[in-house]
Structure 1
Amino acid sequence: MKSFATLTQMTVFARIAESGSLSAAARDLHLSPSAVSKSLAQLEERLGVLLVKRTTRSLTLTEGGRLFLERATSILSDVENTLDTARQFGHPHGNLKLSSSIAFGTKQLTNIVGRYLEAYPEVNANIILDDRYVNLSEENFDVALRITADTHWGYAARKLACIRWLYCASPEYLANHADIDHPQDLTRHACLVYPAMTLDGAWTFRRDEHTQHIKVTPRMTSNSSLALREAALEHRGIACLPTYLVAADISKGHLRVVVPQYRAAIVHTLYAMYYRSKYENPLIRSFIDFLANEFGDTPPWERDALAASGMPYAKEYPRELYSLASA
């Protein structure tokens, strides 16, 4: 009678190979190092093949180990896909691991996820905020929310909302500096610059079908819109900030839109990125559908910001003005 390797043993072996050590695999799997070592020994005994060469400082796969890993990885992926297919007939439950940029996650995502968890009490969420692009497979994320204009990814993605930006400053700053009636007037002001919102060092302004590029000298530059918002609230100058970040500040009068007859010409897009094969999982599908329903045609923060600033809502901008940097 043949002695088969169990799925658990294959899972443990795959984690050992990926992490490069038994102790790291034990931490990832929430097992003791002795349990991981025992599982590997039992697997090698069942197969009659040495899979791993171990020394005090390193761990390497044998030729048999590399071949077995390739097949085991394929089998485990098939098993997961089979489980996802079965899950589509059930209710969303389990752990949802999400990735988001720091600014959007802080200001918008946590509240949205909270409402989703209220609707689906059998779901738990793990939100990781990081401005770098994550690898969904290597880091085991279910959904990554990214604000960008790039469309070249290795994942499926659903467009959720356009992310627009406003030029704004505190009332205190504006009261103590020269009037701003035209974008050109900004060349005489302290500018708080987010690099992804410039084209060759210029801020861009759009009115009707006309676009202007105003070269500004940054008083402060940062790759964090959160940092620039704080500087604007502290009366340091004029910043170009996303509506999802400053809608409440504008509604409360803490920030004021400058030259409201103009719009920032550069626009980004919010996407939910995921593996297409996982979309049949009701946990992932229901969350993405929930996001789309929450945002609608016009996200709530966009309505609030434009209503408070008196600016008209614009559906689209010319494609050539879309920034390729993430926000």
Structure 2
Amino acid sequence: MLTGIGASAAADTTSSEDPTARDYREYLLTVTRPNQLQVIDMTSHTLLRSCDIPGPFGSGIMVPAADGKTAYVITNIWEDIVGIDIRDCEITFHAAQSSGNETVKSFQSVAVSQDGQELYTVQNPVRLMSDHYEVLEPRLAVFEIADGIGAQPVRTFPVDRRITKIAATGTGEVILGGGDLQAIDPETGDIRVVEPLQNWQRGEEWMTPDAFAMHTQGSQANEYIMPYSTARFTDGEQDMATAEWWWGISRVNLETAESERMEIAPLTEVIMNFVTDPTDDNILYGVFNSVSKIDIATKTIVKEQPLDHTYYTVNVSRDGNTVYAGGTSSDISVHDAETLEKIASIQLPGDMSTSDMRVAVIHDAAP
């Protein structure tokens, strides 16, 4: 198991019994329809502000900068990326990616370098001709955040198709979640395989995994998780009916870019997304029709708590004490991490649909 995941994120925290003694504030971020960024105080579980996002709703996918002050959101039906200061709703960055007869979509992919200077997205361009569409090669686009409103890519590099969620590492690479887990150098375009998934070589005993590259939420644990499902065949016939079905993850430490891949629990129910406890990288939380707590060492779901309805995404506080289930509807369900009992509900002014639910941390911050 990797070392370091979660440790650096929790190193400067104080006792969860006295939140006012912390030198930081945590904010839960999500996007709701028609198109607003919601900023939630994670100590009081109250909605602080709703920031209007230009253009129609995209997918609600976003990334907070490392300093926590700005959230970068995909908007305008996946064509634009805007940066919004979560403290006052000021728009500080806007990249309109389509121009002329070329329509550019970014599906789920947005990341910010850990020094806060560059923004990355995978562009999927299509040229609109008079009588047909010309599908162009996908590319990683690199923006300078200092270019602000009207930013244009300063570099682009070809990448594979089907890449969705991405993340920036402390080593200067960008993790690309597609058929396989890859990393690209945004200075040179050089690509390496981090963890093979579609192309893993585990023999006929294992079924090729089905990965789910939708949400990214593990920034406070300084990690990237790609969930997958697979089957281990118990005979030479590859009989699905007798196979052992498993949940698994490919996980990347975003500080070091070290990675690991493992099966984590039997696939006994649908789980939409996973997030690691920032204080214990052996513990995962998952969500769909229930909140699940998974012990990786024993490969078991050790606790489950049924939910009022389906939720798509999950996150956890920086001290590891509180779990949040969000997405889908207009409420966030708040749970005690030890017992998984529901302790609060946060009502929002619109539904979250496919949106991310991210944690932003600002040091010495006012509400």
Name which structure has the greater RCO, CA cutoff 8 Å, separation 6+: 1
Structure 1 length-normalised TM: 0.21
Which protein is richer in helix relative to its size?
A: 1
Question: Going by fraction, where is strand more abundant, 1 or 2?
Answer: 2
Question: Of the two, which has the highest radius of gyration?
Answer: 1
